[in-house]
């Protein structure tokens, strides 16, 4: 959520920042609501003062033995007027909350201008896409021929955009999860968390999924819970409403993730690239504001390290302002090379939210002067396990359809170096 004081004092500045996202802020509506709030608060204060004065006069008249019935009637009218004004003020504040809670974050100055993903900027490459001496196959054909991915069973059990991993497929996914968690906890300083896979509305509001993106969530029919779309939700909410004594805090977690993909109809219907349920290892950092830019670079490097150890070529993209997620002030996407598609595809988004989430979460730390200040939050995938499995199969395939296991992953597979049919 944006700073209310900035919205009130400099709405044009906010509008200019949001315009970089191609988002139009209704400055007139915002200013009108704020003026109505000010007017009602002044009126409310005046009537409360009048009521207090009337009560004082009633008390004084009673002590003098005078008839106070007329005074009491006037005081009661003040009370009724106060209730009416309070209701009006509550309504205005609710309108303000509805309007401002749907405003996205303001991009950092370093974010490139642009409208959509076609305007994102390539920052760097790591590794060179392999030159195959045979036609490379995609993960669907490879996985089915190896007997480790069963799309027909997934469709039968649940429907479209689901898959079943069998045998070494399931073991590979488990190995990737354990490899990522061990790397982030032992080398990168994250505390591993095993969170709930359900979240309440307050948690999803705090990280920005609600109210704007409810259509992308799976909600339980008769209970006030949602299936989490990412471990970002429970991890960032661990410190919701608290004044944190020690920063930085680094959390990581493995969870399944559940998304309707409401805006992705017809996209990536083949294979495991875009599914309703997928597994992910998530990284979250909570830091002081002056440290968040450095933390963003470090978090991105932590996610990159996974790809490097798995020997998967990738590139780092700086998202343009028009392609930023709702809560993000700046985002780097890691895109892994997929020979089966002959293109780079996103495998991690690493974002700095600055104080946007912390304000919604009321997540603060105590500054040197002793006053509570809003922290900054960051998160990134470290990595999406299903897409990592896809990249591993396609990049390390052999002509006979077998898959060579990268050296770093072999200890998690009991020393296995090749997956064969």
- Residue 260 is labelled as binding a ligand: yes
Does 347 show up as a binding residue in the annotation?
A: yes
Active site residue 349: yes
CB 243 within 8 A of CB 110: no
In sequence order, the 6+-apart residues with CB closer than 8 A to the CB of 348 are: 303, 333, 334, 380, 381, 382, 383, 384
Residue of 214, 242, 346, 404 marked active site: 346
Q: State yes or no: 203 annotated in a binding site.
A: no
Active site residue 270: no
The response to whether 381 counts as a known ligand-binding position is yes
348 is in an annotated binding site: yes
87 CA to centre of own chain: 34
Look up 242 and say whether it is catalytic: no
Q: Which of 203, 292, 327, 349 is catalytic?
A: 349
Please calculate the CA angle 24-11-349 and round it to the nearest 5 degrees: 55
Query: Which backbone phi and psi does 281 adopt, to 5 degrees?
Result: -105, 125
Q: Is 230 annotated as ligand-binding?
A: yes
Number of neighbours of residue 380 by Cβ within 10 angstroms: 25
Separation of CA 356 from chain center: 11
Annotated binding residue 232:
yes
Catalytic residue among 21, 345, 364, 387: 387
Length, in residues, of the chain? 421
CB 235 within 8 A of CB 253: yes
SS3 at position 364: strand
Annotated catalytic residue: which of 259, 345, 359, 360?
259
Is 192 part of any known ligand binding site? Answer: no
Q: In which element (H, E) is residue 9 found?
A: helix 4-9
Of the residues 48, 174, 274, 362, only one is catalytic, namely 274
Q: Which residues are catalytic?
A: 259, 274, 346, 349, 387
- Which residues make up each annotated binding site for ATP? 259-261, 346-349
- Which residues make up each annotated binding site? 230-232, 259-261, 282, 346-349, 379, 381
- Which residues make up each annotated binding site for L-serine? 230-232, 259, 282, 379, 381
């Amino acid at each position: 959520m944006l700073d209310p004081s900035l919205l009130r004092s400099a709405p044009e500045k906010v509008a200019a920042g949001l315009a970089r996202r191609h988002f139009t802020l209704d400055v007139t509506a915002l200013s009108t609501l704020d003026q109505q709030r000010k007017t009602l608060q002044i009126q409310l204060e005046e009537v409360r003062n009048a009521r207090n004065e009337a009560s004082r006069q009633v008390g004084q008249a009673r002590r003098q033995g005078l008839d106070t019935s007329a005074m009491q009637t006037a005081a009661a009218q003040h009370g009724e007027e106060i209730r009416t004004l309070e209701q009006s003020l509550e309504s205005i504040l609710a309108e303000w909350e509805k309007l401002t809670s749907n405003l996205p974050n303001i991009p950092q100055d370093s974010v490139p201008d642009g409208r959509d993903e076609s305007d994102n900027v390539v920052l760097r490459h790591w590794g060179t896409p392999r030159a195959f001496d045979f036609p490379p196959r995609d993960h669907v054909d490879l996985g089915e021929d190896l007997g480790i991915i069963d799309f027909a069973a997934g469709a039968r059990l649940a429907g479209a955009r689901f898959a079943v991993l069998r045998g070494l497929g399931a073991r590979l996914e488990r190995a990737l999860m354990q490899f990522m968690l061990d790397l982030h906890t032992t080398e990168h300083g994250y505390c591993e968390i095993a969170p709930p896979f359900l979240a309440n509305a307050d948690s999803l509001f705090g990280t920005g999924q609600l109210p704007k993106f409810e259509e992308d969530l799976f909600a339980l029919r008769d209970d006030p819970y949602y299936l989490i779309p990412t471990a970002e939700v429970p991890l960032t909410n661990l410190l919701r409403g608290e004044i944190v004594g020690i920063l930085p805090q680094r959390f990581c977690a493995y969870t399944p993730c559940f998304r309707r993909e409401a805006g992705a109809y017809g996209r990536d219907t083949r294979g495991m690239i875009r599914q309703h349920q997928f597994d992910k290892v998530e990284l979250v950092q909570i830091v002081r504001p002056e440290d968040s830019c450095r933390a963003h670079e470090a978090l991105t490097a932590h996610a990159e390290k996974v790809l490097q150890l798995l020997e998967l070529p990738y590139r780092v993209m700086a998202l343009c302002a028009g392609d930023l997620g709702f809560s993000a002030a700046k985002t780097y996407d890691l895109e892994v090379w997929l020979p089966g598609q002959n293109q780079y595809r996103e495998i991690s988004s690493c974002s700095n939210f600055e104080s946007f989430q912390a304000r919604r979460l009321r997540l603060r730390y105590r500054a040197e002067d002793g006053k509570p200040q809003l922290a900054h939050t960051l998160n990134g995938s470290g990595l999406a396990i299903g897409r990592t499995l896809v990249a591993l199969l396609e990049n390390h395939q052999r002509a006979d359809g077998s898959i060579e296991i990268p050296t770093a992953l072999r200890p998690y597979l009991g020393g296995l170096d090749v997956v064969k049919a």
